[in-house]
Amino acid sequence: MAPQYDAVVVGAGFGGMGAGIELDRLGLSNYVILDRESDLGGTWHVNHYPGLAVDIASVTYSYSFEPNPYWTRLFAPGAELKKYAGHIADKYGLRRRMRFGTVVDGARWDEEHQHWVVSVAGGETLTGRYLLTATGFLSQPYTPPFPGIDSFAGKIIHTTAWEDDFDLTGRKAAIIGTGATAVQLVPEVAKQAQALTVFQRTPIWVVPKIDTAIPKPVQKLFDRVPATQKAARLFNTSLLEALMVVGVLHYTQAKPLNKAASLLAKAHLRTSVRDKETRKQLTPHYDFGCKRPTFSNTYFRSFNQPHVRLETNSIDHIEADGIVTADGHKTEIDTLILATGFNLWDVNFPAIEIIGRDGVNLGKFWRDNRFQAYEGITVPKFPNFLSLNSPYSYSGLSYFTTIEAQMKHMGRLFTELFRRGEHTFEVTEEANAGFLDRVTGKLGTSVFYGGDCSTARSYYFNPHGEAALLRPTSTLNAHREAVSFPLDDYVYGKSA
Ligand SMILES: Cc1cc2nc3c(=O)[nH]c(=O)nc-3n(C[C@H](O)[C@H](O)[C@H](O)COP(=O)(O)OP(=O)(O)OC[C@H]3O[C@@H](n4cnc5c(N)ncnc54)[C@H](O)[C@@H]3O)c2cc1C
Protein backbone atom coordinates (compact mmCIF):
# COMPACT_ATOMS: atom_id res chain seq x y z
CA MET A 1 0.00 0.00 0.00
CA ALA A 2 1.63 3.26 -1.12
CA PRO A 3 1.55 6.07 1.42
CA GLN A 4 -0.55 9.16 0.65
CA TYR A 5 2.47 11.46 0.78
CA ASP A 6 6.18 11.31 0.11
CA ALA A 7 6.57 13.21 3.34
CA VAL A 8 4.55 14.63 6.21
CA VAL A 9 6.09 17.73 7.80
CA VAL A 10 4.80 18.92 11.18
CA GLY A 11 5.23 22.67 11.78
CA ALA A 12 4.94 25.61 9.38
CA GLY A 13 7.63 27.83 10.91
CA PHE A 14 10.94 28.59 9.25
CA GLY A 15 12.15 25.05 10.07
CA GLY A 16 9.21 23.30 8.38
CA MET A 17 9.36 25.70 5.44
CA GLY A 18 13.08 25.04 4.95
CA ALA A 19 12.34 21.32 5.00
CA GLY A 20 9.62 21.83 2.37
CA ILE A 21 11.98 23.78 0.11
CA GLU A 22 14.57 20.99 0.39
CA LEU A 23 11.99 18.26 -0.28
CA ASP A 24 11.02 20.04 -3.51
CA ARG A 25 14.67 20.34 -4.48
CA LEU A 26 15.03 16.58 -4.00
CA GLY A 27 11.98 15.89 -6.13
CA LEU A 28 9.84 14.74 -3.19
CA SER A 29 7.14 17.23 -4.03
CA ASN A 30 4.13 15.28 -2.79
CA TYR A 31 4.27 16.47 0.80
CA VAL A 32 2.00 18.16 3.31
CA ILE A 33 2.93 20.62 6.07
CA LEU A 34 0.61 20.42 9.07
CA ASP A 35 0.29 23.16 11.67
CA ARG A 36 -2.13 23.68 14.54
CA GLU A 37 -2.10 27.47 14.07
CA SER A 38 -4.27 29.45 11.66
CA ASP A 39 -1.37 30.62 9.51
CA LEU A 40 2.32 30.06 8.78
CA GLY A 41 5.40 31.55 10.42
CA GLY A 42 5.57 29.59 13.70
CA THR A 43 7.23 31.85 16.31
CA TRP A 44 6.59 34.93 14.16
CA HIS A 45 2.91 34.17 13.72
CA VAL A 46 2.21 33.32 17.34
CA ASN A 47 4.20 36.16 18.94
CA HIS A 48 3.17 39.74 18.25
CA TYR A 49 3.55 41.44 21.63
CA PRO A 50 4.65 45.09 21.64
CA GLY A 51 8.40 45.46 21.16
CA LEU A 52 8.89 42.07 19.50
CA ALA A 53 11.98 42.09 17.28
CA VAL A 54 14.76 39.70 16.35
CA ASP A 55 17.81 39.64 18.57
CA ILE A 56 20.08 38.52 15.74
CA ALA A 57 20.64 41.14 13.04
CA SER A 58 18.32 40.47 10.12
CA VAL A 59 21.06 40.11 7.49
CA THR A 60 21.91 36.90 9.36
CA TYR A 61 18.47 35.91 10.69
CA SER A 62 17.04 34.91 7.29
CA TYR A 63 17.67 32.18 4.70
CA SER A 64 21.06 32.78 3.05
CA PHE A 65 19.55 31.82 -0.34
CA GLU A 66 16.66 34.27 0.06
CA PRO A 67 18.00 37.56 1.42
CA ASN A 68 15.55 40.36 2.04
CA PRO A 69 17.11 43.69 1.07
CA TYR A 70 14.21 45.60 2.56
CA TRP A 71 14.55 44.99 6.30
CA THR A 72 13.76 48.40 7.79
CA ARG A 73 16.07 48.01 10.80
CA LEU A 74 19.26 46.16 11.64
CA PHE A 75 17.09 44.10 14.00
CA ALA A 76 13.77 43.75 12.20
CA PRO A 77 10.51 43.98 14.14
CA GLY A 78 8.51 40.76 14.47
CA ALA A 79 5.89 41.82 11.92
CA GLU A 80 8.57 41.94 9.20
CA LEU A 81 9.57 38.37 9.99
CA LYS A 82 5.96 37.28 9.64
CA LYS A 83 5.81 39.07 6.27
CA TYR A 84 9.10 37.48 5.20
CA ALA A 85 7.69 34.03 6.10
CA GLY A 86 4.68 34.76 3.87
CA HIS A 87 6.98 35.81 1.03
CA ILE A 88 8.98 32.56 1.34
CA ALA A 89 5.82 30.46 1.34
CA ASP A 90 4.54 32.20 -1.80
CA LYS A 91 7.82 32.20 -3.69
CA TYR A 92 8.54 28.52 -3.00
CA GLY A 93 4.97 27.31 -3.49
CA LEU A 94 4.66 26.12 0.11
CA ARG A 95 1.28 27.56 0.97
CA ARG A 96 -0.69 25.08 -1.12
CA ARG A 97 1.01 22.24 0.80
CA MET A 98 0.04 23.66 4.19
CA ARG A 99 -2.91 22.57 6.32
CA PHE A 100 -3.68 24.87 9.23
CA GLY A 101 -5.81 24.27 12.32
CA THR A 102 -4.43 20.74 12.32
CA VAL A 103 -3.15 19.49 15.66
CA VAL A 104 -0.89 16.50 15.23
CA ASP A 105 -1.21 14.05 18.11
CA GLY A 106 1.37 11.47 17.16
CA ALA A 107 3.04 9.32 14.56
CA ARG A 108 3.76 5.60 14.37
CA TRP A 109 6.16 3.73 12.09
CA ASP A 110 4.23 1.07 10.17
CA GLU A 111 6.79 -1.72 9.82
CA GLU A 112 4.71 -3.74 7.41
CA HIS A 113 4.14 -0.93 4.94
CA GLN A 114 7.38 0.91 5.75
CA HIS A 115 5.81 4.29 6.18
CA TRP A 116 4.64 6.66 8.92
CA VAL A 117 1.05 6.88 10.09
CA VAL A 118 0.39 10.36 11.45
CA SER A 119 -2.61 10.92 13.74
CA VAL A 120 -4.38 14.22 13.74
CA ALA A 121 -6.79 15.47 16.42
CA GLY A 122 -10.30 14.54 15.43
CA GLY A 123 -9.36 11.01 14.42
CA GLU A 124 -7.97 11.44 10.90
CA THR A 125 -4.75 9.66 9.94
CA LEU A 126 -2.31 10.52 7.16
CA THR A 127 0.47 8.35 5.80
CA GLY A 128 3.85 9.48 4.56
CA ARG A 129 7.01 7.62 3.56
CA TYR A 130 9.06 10.18 5.48
CA LEU A 131 8.23 12.12 8.64
CA LEU A 132 9.82 15.45 9.48
CA THR A 133 9.03 17.23 12.73
CA ALA A 134 9.74 20.97 12.86
CA THR A 135 7.67 21.71 15.93
CA GLY A 136 10.06 24.32 17.33
CA PHE A 137 11.80 24.64 20.70
CA LEU A 138 10.04 27.77 21.93
CA SER A 139 6.56 26.78 20.87
CA GLN A 140 4.77 25.38 23.92
CA PRO A 141 3.76 28.36 26.11
CA TYR A 142 4.31 27.89 29.82
CA THR A 143 2.33 29.29 32.73
CA PRO A 144 3.71 28.37 36.16
CA PRO A 145 0.98 26.99 38.44
CA PHE A 146 0.76 30.06 40.69
CA PRO A 147 -1.65 29.28 43.53
CA GLY A 148 -4.83 31.33 43.16
CA ILE A 149 -4.28 32.41 39.56
CA ASP A 150 -7.77 31.20 38.66
CA SER A 151 -9.26 33.62 41.17
CA PHE A 152 -7.67 36.67 39.51
CA ALA A 153 -10.48 38.99 38.47
CA GLY A 154 -8.53 41.21 36.08
CA LYS A 155 -7.12 40.60 32.64
CA ILE A 156 -4.55 37.83 32.11
CA ILE A 157 -2.46 37.80 28.93
CA HIS A 158 0.33 35.40 28.00
CA THR A 159 2.84 37.00 25.66
CA THR A 160 2.12 34.29 23.07
CA ALA A 161 -1.55 35.27 22.99
CA TRP A 162 -1.25 39.04 22.83
CA GLU A 163 -4.42 40.94 21.97
CA ASP A 164 -3.29 43.71 19.63
CA ASP A 165 -6.22 45.96 20.49
CA PHE A 166 -5.78 45.61 24.24
CA ASP A 167 -5.28 49.10 25.68
CA LEU A 168 -2.96 49.31 28.67
CA THR A 169 -3.63 52.99 29.27
CA GLY A 170 -4.42 53.64 32.93
CA ARG A 171 -3.85 49.99 33.86
CA LYS A 172 -2.06 48.72 36.96
CA ALA A 173 -0.06 45.97 35.33
CA ALA A 174 2.32 43.24 36.43
CA ILE A 175 4.73 41.41 34.19
CA ILE A 176 5.88 38.07 35.54
CA GLY A 177 9.21 36.97 34.11
CA THR A 178 12.41 38.70 33.08
CA GLY A 179 13.58 36.59 30.15
CA ALA A 180 14.24 37.68 26.57
CA THR A 181 10.56 38.43 25.94
CA ALA A 182 10.22 40.66 29.02
CA VAL A 183 13.36 42.55 28.03
CA GLN A 184 11.51 43.60 24.86
CA LEU A 185 8.09 44.02 26.44
CA VAL A 186 8.78 45.90 29.71
CA PRO A 187 9.75 49.24 28.06
CA GLU A 188 6.63 49.11 25.85
CA VAL A 189 4.21 48.35 28.69
CA ALA A 190 5.90 51.02 30.80
CA LYS A 191 5.03 53.58 28.11
CA GLN A 192 1.30 52.95 28.53
CA ALA A 193 0.47 51.53 31.93
CA GLN A 194 -0.30 53.74 34.92
CA ALA A 195 1.77 51.43 37.14
CA LEU A 196 3.98 48.47 36.28
CA THR A 197 5.53 45.93 38.62
CA VAL A 198 8.02 43.50 37.14
CA PHE A 199 8.32 40.23 39.04
CA GLN A 200 11.81 38.82 38.66
CA ARG A 201 12.98 35.38 39.71
CA THR A 202 16.27 35.30 37.77
CA PRO A 203 18.03 38.45 36.54
CA ILE A 204 19.26 38.41 32.96
CA TRP A 205 22.45 39.63 31.32
CA VAL A 206 21.59 42.47 28.94
CA VAL A 207 24.09 44.14 26.62
CA PRO A 208 23.49 47.27 24.53
CA LYS A 209 21.70 46.75 21.21
CA ILE A 210 23.45 48.40 18.29
CA ASP A 211 20.26 48.91 16.34
CA THR A 212 19.30 51.51 13.79
CA ALA A 213 16.96 52.03 10.87
CA ILE A 214 18.42 50.90 7.56
CA PRO A 215 18.21 53.94 5.27
CA LYS A 216 16.35 53.50 1.97
CA PRO A 217 19.52 54.01 -0.15
CA VAL A 218 21.19 51.13 1.71
CA GLN A 219 18.13 48.94 1.14
CA LYS A 220 18.31 49.79 -2.57
CA LEU A 221 22.01 49.00 -2.61
CA PHE A 222 21.33 45.59 -0.99
CA ASP A 223 18.72 44.97 -3.69
CA ARG A 224 20.81 46.09 -6.67
CA VAL A 225 24.15 44.74 -5.51
CA PRO A 226 23.36 41.58 -3.47
CA ALA A 227 27.07 41.08 -2.77
CA THR A 228 26.93 44.06 -0.38
CA GLN A 229 24.27 42.41 1.77
CA LYS A 230 26.17 39.12 1.57
CA ALA A 231 29.25 40.90 2.89
CA ALA A 232 27.19 42.41 5.75
CA ARG A 233 25.87 38.94 6.54
CA LEU A 234 29.34 37.43 6.54
CA PHE A 235 30.64 40.16 8.87
CA ASN A 236 27.76 39.84 11.33
CA THR A 237 27.70 36.04 11.25
CA SER A 238 31.45 35.94 11.95
CA LEU A 239 30.97 38.15 15.02
CA LEU A 240 28.23 35.88 16.33
CA GLU A 241 30.36 32.84 15.63
CA ALA A 242 33.24 34.32 17.62
CA LEU A 243 30.92 35.18 20.52
CA MET A 244 29.47 31.68 20.60
CA VAL A 245 32.56 29.60 19.93
CA VAL A 246 35.05 31.57 21.99
CA GLY A 247 32.86 33.05 24.72
CA VAL A 248 30.49 30.14 25.32
CA LEU A 249 31.87 26.88 23.92
CA HIS A 250 35.56 27.48 24.73
CA TYR A 251 34.85 29.22 28.01
CA THR A 252 37.64 27.54 29.96
CA GLN A 253 40.26 28.51 27.37
CA ALA A 254 38.97 32.04 26.82
CA LYS A 255 37.57 33.18 30.17
CA PRO A 256 38.71 36.81 29.71
CA LEU A 257 36.47 37.23 26.67
CA ASN A 258 33.48 35.88 28.56
CA LYS A 259 34.31 38.12 31.51
CA ALA A 260 34.60 41.10 29.15
CA ALA A 261 31.02 40.45 27.98
CA SER A 262 29.73 40.43 31.55
CA LEU A 263 31.71 43.59 32.32
CA LEU A 264 30.07 45.27 29.31
CA ALA A 265 26.64 44.22 30.60
CA LYS A 266 27.49 45.48 34.10
CA ALA A 267 28.69 48.82 32.72
CA HIS A 268 25.46 49.04 30.71
CA LEU A 269 23.49 48.43 33.91
CA ARG A 270 25.53 50.99 35.86
CA THR A 271 25.02 53.73 33.28
CA SER A 272 21.32 52.91 32.81
CA VAL A 273 19.85 52.42 36.29
CA ARG A 274 20.13 55.18 38.87
CA ASP A 275 19.13 53.29 42.01
CA LYS A 276 21.94 51.22 43.53
CA GLU A 277 19.66 48.63 45.13
CA THR A 278 17.77 48.07 41.87
CA ARG A 279 21.07 47.67 40.03
CA LYS A 280 22.11 45.04 42.55
CA GLN A 281 18.86 43.18 42.08
CA LEU A 282 19.23 43.28 38.32
CA THR A 283 22.75 41.79 38.41
CA PRO A 284 22.94 38.08 37.57
CA HIS A 285 25.02 35.73 39.71
CA TYR A 286 25.72 33.23 36.94
CA ASP A 287 28.22 33.47 34.10
CA PHE A 288 27.46 35.29 30.88
CA GLY A 289 26.36 32.79 28.21
CA CYS A 290 24.65 30.32 30.56
CA LYS A 291 21.47 31.77 29.09
CA ARG A 292 20.98 33.15 25.61
CA PRO A 293 22.32 36.75 25.74
CA THR A 294 19.79 39.57 25.36
CA PHE A 295 20.18 42.99 23.82
CA SER A 296 18.33 46.17 24.77
CA ASN A 297 18.95 49.89 25.24
CA THR A 298 15.67 50.52 27.03
CA TYR A 299 15.00 47.59 29.39
CA PHE A 300 17.23 48.72 32.27
CA ARG A 301 16.22 52.37 31.89
CA SER A 302 12.57 51.45 32.39
CA PHE A 303 13.32 50.91 36.06
CA ASN A 304 14.22 54.60 36.52
CA GLN A 305 10.62 55.59 35.88
CA PRO A 306 8.62 56.37 39.04
CA HIS A 307 5.69 54.14 38.03
CA VAL A 308 7.89 51.07 37.31
CA ARG A 309 8.95 48.81 40.18
CA LEU A 310 11.08 45.69 40.33
CA GLU A 311 9.86 42.98 42.70
CA THR A 312 12.32 40.23 43.54
CA ASN A 313 10.47 38.49 46.36
CA SER A 314 9.04 35.20 45.15
CA ILE A 315 5.36 34.98 44.36
CA ASP A 316 3.38 33.23 47.07
CA HIS A 317 -0.06 33.39 45.56
CA ILE A 318 -2.40 35.43 43.42
CA GLU A 319 -5.65 36.96 44.65
CA ALA A 320 -8.56 38.50 42.77
CA ASP A 321 -6.92 41.93 42.71
CA GLY A 322 -3.24 41.38 43.21
CA ILE A 323 -0.10 39.33 43.67
CA VAL A 324 1.10 38.44 47.17
CA THR A 325 4.80 37.78 47.60
CA ALA A 326 6.51 35.55 50.17
CA ASP A 327 7.13 38.56 52.45
CA GLY A 328 3.36 39.08 52.69
CA HIS A 329 3.31 42.22 50.55
CA LYS A 330 0.43 42.55 48.10
CA THR A 331 0.84 44.38 44.79
CA GLU A 332 -2.56 45.50 43.59
CA ILE A 333 -3.01 45.01 39.85
CA ASP A 334 -5.76 44.74 37.27
CA THR A 335 -3.65 43.30 34.45
CA LEU A 336 -1.42 40.26 34.68
CA ILE A 337 1.05 39.75 31.84
CA LEU A 338 2.72 36.36 31.76
CA ALA A 339 6.15 36.58 30.17
CA THR A 340 6.81 33.13 31.57
CA GLY A 341 8.15 31.66 28.35
CA PHE A 342 7.99 28.14 27.11
CA ASN A 343 8.18 24.60 28.33
CA LEU A 344 10.95 22.97 26.36
CA TRP A 345 12.04 19.75 27.94
CA ASP A 346 8.81 18.31 29.34
CA VAL A 347 6.64 18.73 26.27
CA ASN A 348 8.90 19.46 23.31
CA PHE A 349 11.21 16.46 23.27
CA PRO A 350 9.33 15.38 21.22
CA ALA A 351 6.27 17.62 20.83
CA ILE A 352 4.12 14.70 19.67
CA GLU A 353 4.16 11.01 20.56
CA ILE A 354 6.46 9.23 18.13
CA ILE A 355 6.62 5.43 18.02
CA GLY A 356 9.40 3.95 15.93
CA ARG A 357 10.57 0.47 15.00
CA ASP A 358 9.88 -2.29 17.56
CA GLY A 359 7.41 0.00 19.31
CA VAL A 360 10.14 2.29 20.71
CA ASN A 361 8.68 5.52 22.08
CA LEU A 362 10.99 8.46 21.31
CA GLY A 363 10.12 10.48 24.42
CA LYS A 364 10.67 7.46 26.67
CA PHE A 365 13.88 6.53 24.86
CA TRP A 366 15.28 10.01 25.43
CA ARG A 367 14.28 10.03 29.10
CA ASP A 368 15.37 6.47 29.91
CA ASN A 369 18.67 6.80 28.13
CA ARG A 370 20.05 10.24 27.39
CA PHE A 371 18.80 12.98 25.13
CA GLN A 372 20.53 12.26 21.84
CA ALA A 373 20.26 12.48 18.06
CA TYR A 374 22.88 11.82 15.42
CA GLU A 375 24.04 15.20 14.05
CA GLY A 376 21.00 16.60 15.90
CA ILE A 377 18.61 15.15 13.34
CA THR A 378 18.18 11.34 13.30
CA VAL A 379 17.72 8.63 15.94
CA PRO A 380 18.31 4.84 15.74
CA LYS A 381 15.09 2.78 15.56
CA PHE A 382 13.29 5.68 13.91
CA PRO A 383 13.56 4.96 10.17
CA ASN A 384 12.70 7.64 7.63
CA PHE A 385 12.36 10.20 10.39
CA LEU A 386 14.05 13.58 10.64
CA SER A 387 13.61 15.34 13.96
CA LEU A 388 14.60 18.92 13.29
CA ASN A 389 14.23 20.01 16.90
CA SER A 390 16.48 17.45 18.49
CA PRO A 391 19.00 17.39 21.30
CA TYR A 392 22.32 18.95 20.24
CA SER A 393 20.80 20.38 17.06
CA TYR A 394 20.75 24.13 17.79
CA SER A 395 23.88 25.41 16.11
CA GLY A 396 25.17 28.94 16.72
CA LEU A 397 22.97 31.87 17.60
CA SER A 398 20.84 32.46 14.50
CA TYR A 399 18.38 29.62 14.10
CA PHE A 400 18.73 29.83 10.32
CA THR A 401 22.21 28.34 10.70
CA THR A 402 20.59 25.23 12.13
CA ILE A 403 17.82 25.12 9.55
CA GLU A 404 20.21 25.39 6.62
CA ALA A 405 22.65 22.80 8.02
CA GLN A 406 19.71 20.42 8.40
CA MET A 407 18.61 21.11 4.83
CA LYS A 408 22.12 20.15 3.70
CA HIS A 409 22.01 16.96 5.79
CA MET A 410 18.69 16.07 4.14
CA GLY A 411 20.19 16.74 0.72
CA ARG A 412 23.14 14.41 1.25
CA LEU A 413 21.09 11.66 2.88
CA PHE A 414 18.28 11.55 0.32
CA THR A 415 20.66 11.85 -2.63
CA GLU A 416 22.48 8.74 -1.40
CA LEU A 417 19.19 6.96 -0.75
CA PHE A 418 18.04 7.60 -4.31
CA ARG A 419 21.46 6.71 -5.77
CA ARG A 420 21.13 3.32 -4.14
CA GLY A 421 17.57 2.97 -5.38
CA GLU A 422 16.35 2.50 -1.80
CA HIS A 423 13.46 4.00 0.13
CA THR A 424 14.29 3.67 3.80
CA PHE A 425 17.12 4.98 5.93
CA GLU A 426 18.03 4.59 9.57
CA VAL A 427 21.05 5.86 11.43
CA THR A 428 23.22 3.16 13.00
CA GLU A 429 23.57 2.76 16.77
CA GLU A 430 27.36 3.14 16.45
CA ALA A 431 27.20 6.42 14.54
CA ASN A 432 24.69 7.82 16.99
CA ALA A 433 26.71 6.74 20.04
CA GLY A 434 29.87 8.19 18.49
CA PHE A 435 28.20 11.55 17.93
CA LEU A 436 26.83 11.64 21.47
CA ASP A 437 30.27 10.87 22.93
CA ARG A 438 31.83 13.58 20.82
CA VAL A 439 29.36 16.35 21.70
CA THR A 440 29.18 15.56 25.38
CA GLY A 441 32.98 15.46 25.48
CA LYS A 442 33.21 18.87 23.87
CA LEU A 443 30.79 20.41 26.35
CA GLY A 444 33.35 19.96 29.14
CA THR A 445 35.11 23.21 28.23
CA SER A 446 31.91 25.21 27.68
CA VAL A 447 30.49 27.77 30.07
CA PHE A 448 27.70 25.28 30.79
CA TYR A 449 30.05 22.90 32.62
CA GLY A 450 33.23 24.95 33.04
CA GLY A 451 31.48 28.09 34.31
CA ASP A 452 28.92 28.75 37.01
CA CYS A 453 25.39 28.32 35.67
CA SER A 454 23.88 27.06 38.91
CA THR A 455 21.48 29.99 39.38
CA ALA A 456 20.73 30.62 35.69
CA ARG A 457 17.60 28.46 35.26
CA SER A 458 18.53 28.29 31.60
CA TYR A 459 16.52 26.40 29.01
CA TYR A 460 19.82 25.17 27.59
CA PHE A 461 19.76 22.62 30.43
CA ASN A 462 17.38 19.67 30.62
CA PRO A 463 15.91 18.46 33.93
CA HIS A 464 18.87 16.06 34.33
CA GLY A 465 21.23 19.05 34.32
CA GLU A 466 22.63 18.25 30.88
CA ALA A 467 23.17 21.11 28.42
CA ALA A 468 21.66 19.03 25.66
CA LEU A 469 20.16 21.72 23.43
CA LEU A 470 23.10 23.40 21.72
CA ARG A 471 25.48 21.67 19.33
CA PRO A 472 28.85 22.42 20.94
CA THR A 473 30.75 22.97 17.73
CA SER A 474 31.24 25.90 15.41
CA THR A 475 28.52 26.45 12.85
CA LEU A 476 31.19 25.92 10.20
CA ASN A 477 31.69 22.43 11.58
CA ALA A 478 27.92 21.80 11.56
CA HIS A 479 27.69 22.82 7.91
CA ARG A 480 30.82 20.88 6.94
CA GLU A 481 29.55 17.69 8.57
CA ALA A 482 26.11 18.12 6.97
CA VAL A 483 27.73 17.71 3.56
CA SER A 484 30.38 15.18 4.50
CA PHE A 485 29.05 12.80 7.18
CA PRO A 486 29.99 9.18 6.39
CA LEU A 487 27.22 7.75 4.23
CA ASP A 488 27.66 4.41 5.99
CA ASP A 489 26.45 6.01 9.20
CA TYR A 490 23.04 5.05 7.82
CA VAL A 491 21.60 1.73 6.70
CA TYR A 492 19.42 1.89 3.64
CA GLY A 493 16.64 -0.45 2.59
CA LYS A 494 13.81 -1.14 0.21
CA SER A 495 10.26 -0.13 1.02
CA ALA A 496 7.62 -2.83 1.39
C1 LIG B 1 9.74 35.68 21.00
C2 LIG B 1 10.79 34.91 20.30
C3 LIG B 1 11.85 35.58 19.67
C4 LIG B 1 12.84 34.85 19.03
N5 LIG B 1 13.87 35.53 18.44
C6 LIG B 1 14.85 34.83 17.84
C7 LIG B 1 15.96 35.49 17.23
O8 LIG B 1 16.05 36.70 17.23
N9 LIG B 1 16.93 34.74 16.68
C10 LIG B 1 16.88 33.37 16.67
O11 LIG B 1 17.78 32.72 16.14
N12 LIG B 1 15.81 32.72 17.20
C13 LIG B 1 14.83 33.41 17.78
N14 LIG B 1 13.78 32.74 18.35
C15 LIG B 1 13.72 31.28 18.24
C16 LIG B 1 12.75 30.91 17.09
O17 LIG B 1 11.81 30.07 17.64
C18 LIG B 1 13.52 30.28 15.94
O19 LIG B 1 14.44 31.23 15.45
C20 LIG B 1 12.68 29.84 14.75
O21 LIG B 1 11.68 30.77 14.41
C22 LIG B 1 12.10 28.48 15.02
O23 LIG B 1 11.50 28.00 13.85
P24 LIG B 1 10.84 26.56 13.85
O25 LIG B 1 10.15 26.40 12.56
O26 LIG B 1 11.86 25.54 14.20
O27 LIG B 1 9.83 26.57 15.07
P28 LIG B 1 8.54 27.47 15.32
O29 LIG B 1 8.66 28.76 14.66
O30 LIG B 1 8.32 27.42 16.79
O31 LIG B 1 7.39 26.65 14.59
C32 LIG B 1 6.93 25.44 15.08
C33 LIG B 1 5.55 25.22 14.52
O34 LIG B 1 5.14 23.89 14.88
C35 LIG B 1 3.77 23.94 15.19
N36 LIG B 1 3.43 22.80 16.05
C37 LIG B 1 4.02 22.45 17.21
N38 LIG B 1 3.44 21.34 17.70
C39 LIG B 1 2.46 21.00 16.82
C40 LIG B 1 1.51 19.94 16.78
N41 LIG B 1 1.44 19.01 17.74
N42 LIG B 1 0.64 19.90 15.74
C43 LIG B 1 0.69 20.82 14.75
N44 LIG B 1 1.57 21.84 14.74
C45 LIG B 1 2.45 21.92 15.77
C46 LIG B 1 3.58 25.26 15.89
O47 LIG B 1 2.24 25.68 15.82
C48 LIG B 1 4.52 26.18 15.11
O49 LIG B 1 3.86 26.86 14.09
C50 LIG B 1 12.78 33.44 19.00
C51 LIG B 1 11.73 32.79 19.64
C52 LIG B 1 10.75 33.51 20.28
C53 LIG B 1 9.64 32.77 20.94
Q: What is the pLDDT of residues 93-111, one digit of tens each?
A: 999 999 999 999 999 999 9
Residue 47 Cα to ligand 1 midpoint, Å, equals 9
Q: Closest ligand 1 atom to the C-alpha of 75?
A: 8
Q: Closest ligand 1 atom to the C-alpha of 54?
A: 8
Beta carbon of 56 within 6 Å of any ligand 1 atom: yes
Q: Output the pLDDT for position 496.
A: 53
141-204+296-341 CATH choice from 3.50.50.60, 1.10.10.10, 3.40.50.1980, 2.40.160.40? 3.50.50.60
- Beta-carbon contacts of residue 94 (< 8 Å; ≥ 6 apart): 12, 17, 20, 21, 33, 40, 88
> Which residues of the chain register pLDDT less than 50?
none
Q: Output the pLDDT for position 247.
A: 85
Q: What gap in Å lies between CA 122 and CA 126, rounded to an integer?
A: 12
Q: Output the pLDDT for position 1.
A: 76
Q: Output the pLDDT for position 90.
A: 98
What are the residue ranges spanned by the domains of the chain?
5-140+344-492, 141-204+296-341
Beta carbon of 15 within 6 Å of any ligand 1 atom: yes
Q: Output the pLDDT for position 103.
A: 98
Beta carbon of 13 within 6 Å of any ligand 1 atom: yes
Quick check: do 5-140+344-492 and 141-204+296-341 share a fold?
A: yes
Mutation probe of ligand 1 site: the residue of 99, 135, 344, 387 with most atoms within 8 A of C-beta: 135
Mutation probe of ligand 1 site: the residue of 33, 43, 105, 400 with most atoms within 8 A of C-beta: 43
pTM over 0.95: yes
Q: Output the pLDDT for position 152.
A: 98
Beta carbon of 160 within 6 Å of any ligand 1 atom: no
Residue 487 Cα to ligand 1 midpoint, Å, equals 30
Mutation probe of ligand 1 site: the residue of 139, 241, 352, 389 with most atoms within 8 A of C-beta: 139
5-140+344-492 CATH choice from 1.10.10.10, 3.50.50.60, 3.40.50.920, 3.30.360.10? 3.50.50.60
